[in-house]
Structure 1
């Protein structure tokens, strides 16, 4: 929309009302602030929701893979054949043997439920989720037959264990005697403490070499499952379809959507619901723009009539008021983007400050899964938010603009 020189001058003049029009200026300022808060709220919430999903997906998939071939009865015989076939499958980037078994861990009278995970030594050291997440000790100490394990930071806190402590793992699968099955109790030295950032993992995982897990659980040469990584998580079903005949009658092939369907579907529903609810804030802000322009048109009725008598066209008046309202919305949008970016940059500091002031735990990892507030801004979503807010601001200007353009100078100036 191109404005002529006089139209730009009038629009600039109406954006800064005179002495007797302070109330109109106040309403316009409130409109700008409302748009700013609405856009900032949308950007912040959608970024946090995206960050939560991305972070959770990365951690879950990083440890469990895009899909799992799980043996019936917790045992996968002839797993090397399945592993070799999986590695040859087009689209599979990684296939790793794994043992995972719920057990009990005890240390100095404290007992906690744990998830013992056996992995090949090279897989432990190469795992992107574990690498760089070690708080104390080192993963290099985990070697077959060493009796060393790595445990999650939350589990270490609950047990009161630290690097060098000797914890006992209790397996119900022990020796059978005349008095029944005697649980198998084996002591291991804590060689490393890690924190991957997912509460359920940090409070349960005990990671050990694959050979030690086979010995502990008396699996012989068997494993419990094979985890698979693919080139495209969204098309994992199609990629792994050729493996189904190989896995048939030996185990069950389950992808990440089936394993975590509830939580990811809930996140998707929540994202849509939050977007709709927070969009109402922008809509309310747009109504403020509408009301401020209507008041401005009312206050400037005489000026508009004079402009009409001086040759101002209806189209020119429409452009003036559309520009005023759209500019208020645009400035509010830019301010909202800046406010949202600042909040997201200092998000964890803001959460910590609010927790300090209120004394409430706003981000409980046991409920939120992740230990810190994540954020991931999607440029496409931000663009959609900006276009939505700008479009609504533009629509809010149409009624007052046409109302101003329809002013009859004869009726207004009759008694002047």
Structure 2
């Protein structure tokens, strides 16, 4: 335990005094370096956690956790298969869908789109879509009607609003003596949604199930079943139970297979960024070593006097360890506050920097999400604080050991 005089001496050594201003400046640089390193780690890791979590939630919210696809793009006995799938362990919801890539055009504008046919009630009960309608409503989104709902970015590409008509063009048209004629049909826009994932807002068109079946000439068939489970991380048990049931009709594709490369890249980037940003703390810790070594040399006479007055080597070592650790602890606390402040104003900071430098620092086309998310993980914050304090304590060991081994006879010989 630290005695009162050890705390008093360590506190005095931390204050700037005449002739030792340079040591104080080096100490403050160390404190600022640790604060910047801790703040950068907390802010960057929280943004990356938020990005991964938000992206996962939105992608799975739109696509579901698992897809049962027909071998030839059709599931004829989908109603029977749906009942069997609903009985599998861990399954929360099963919805039929038709999904194909087409070309959409309006006047002289065109864009590649993904048309998804779904039962209107399933779309209305889907919070990711129904709670993100930015224009129009799903009241007129009814089976058999020539109506569609599309993403906000796609609406911007086609300059379309609610009430406008959009033509959908399929290359699989009618065979004529002059070749294959593309199939073209017009549909009225009744709703525009914005789920926050750029790829979906920029390409997706929702269509009532019966309307999609008529357009794609699928009769009463669908192209697949979308499955939502209770726990996406424990989907293997559901897949193992469904595989024997599904094999005669089609194949199972889960969310990990569909997005494996994306989430593996995010995980690698997260680990690499953690260790790269930790280097900032390591550099700041070296400054603590330098400042303590200079402090030991400047206070050699004080140390000798303390030793002659009965202070033990352990006591002297604790004084300098406390001085160095105080710098690291104060820098860590300052960094925590700065990191949380950066997270609180992250959107304003990004917008200000983008305006200042004239570049888009957060481009939805690259980042998938429209806004920068964040998610603070308590374990990572504690790990960052723990690493910072551990490195600080290790940095004080050598200078403190040198101070404790100061020979009073050699220092005071000519005094």
Query: Secondary structure at 2:19's aligned position in 1?
Result: helix
Alignment match, 1:98: 97
What is the deviation of 1:320?
Answer: 1.2
Query: Secondary structure at 1:169's aligned position in 2?
Result: strand
What is the deviation of 1:361?
Answer: 1.2
Please tell me whether residue 179 in structure 1 is matched to residue 188 in structure 2.
no
CA distance in 1, matches of 2:402, 2:319: 12
CA distance in 2, matches of 1:104, 1:392: 58
CA distance in 2, matches of 1:122, 1:339: 47
CA distance in 2, matches of 1:291, 1:239: 59
RMSD over aligned CA atoms reads 1.1
What is the deviation of 1:323?
Answer: 1.2
CA distance in 2, matches of 1:262, 1:63: 19
The C-alpha deviation readout for 1:264-285, integer Å capped at 9, x for no partner, is 1111111111111111111101
Q: Is the 8 A contact 1:134 1:195 kept in 2?
A: yes
What is the deviation of 1:84?
Answer: 0.7
* TM-score, structure 1 as length reference: 0.98
CA distance in 1, matches of 2:30, 2:317: 20
Query: Secondary structure at 2:93's aligned position in 1?
Result: strand
Alignment match, 1:406: 405
Equivalent residues in 2 for 1:68-147, closer than 5 Å: 68-147=67-146
Residue correspondences, number: 415
The C-alpha deviation readout for 1:50-108, integer Å capped at 9, x for no partner, is 11111110111111111111112221121112211111111111111111110110101
The C-alpha deviation readout for 1:229-268, integer Å capped at 9, x for no partner, is 1122122122221100111131110111111111111111
Alignment match, 1:343: 342
Structure 1 residue runs of 5 or longer lacking an equivalent are none
Alignment match, 2:386: 387
Identify which range, 143-152 or 344-353, moves more after superposition: 143-152
CA distance in 2, matches of 1:395, 1:219: 70
Please tell me whether residue 372 in structure 1 is matched to residue 371 in structure 2.
yes
Q: Is the 8 A contact 1:237 1:255 kept in 2?
A: no
Q: Is the 8 A contact 2:65 2:227 kept in 1?
A: yes
CA distance in 2, matches of 1:399, 1:312: 19
Query: Secondary structure at 1:223's aligned position in 2?
Result: coil
Query: Secondary structure at 1:292's aligned position in 2?
Result: helix
Alignment match, 2:315: 316
CA distance in 1, matches of 2:211, 2:334: 58
What is the deviation of 1:131?
Answer: 2.8
What is the deviation of 1:194?
Answer: 1.1
Query: Secondary structure at 1:116's aligned position in 2?
Result: strand
Alignment match, 2:152: 153
What is the deviation of 1:141?
Answer: 2.3
Equivalent residues in 2 for 1:254-403, closer than 5 Å: 254-403=253-402
What is the deviation of 1:371?
Answer: 1.3
CA distance in 2, matches of 1:182, 1:338: 65
Q: Is the 8 A contact 1:39 1:385 kept in 2?
A: yes
Please tell me whether residue 4 in structure 1 is matched to residue 9 in structure 2.
no
Identify which range, 153-162 or 361-370, moves more after superposition: 361-370
Please tell me whether residue 38 in structure 1 is matched to residue 37 in structure 2.
yes
What is the deviation of 1:146?
Answer: 2.7
The C-alpha deviation readout for 1:298-330, integer Å capped at 9, x for no partner, is 111110110111111111111111111111111
Alignment match, 1:167: 166
CA distance in 1, matches of 2:119, 2:350: 39
CA distance in 1, matches of 2:72, 2:109: 30
Q: Is the 8 A contact 1:142 1:191 kept in 2?
A: yes
Identify which range, 127-136 or 286-295, moves more after superposition: 127-136
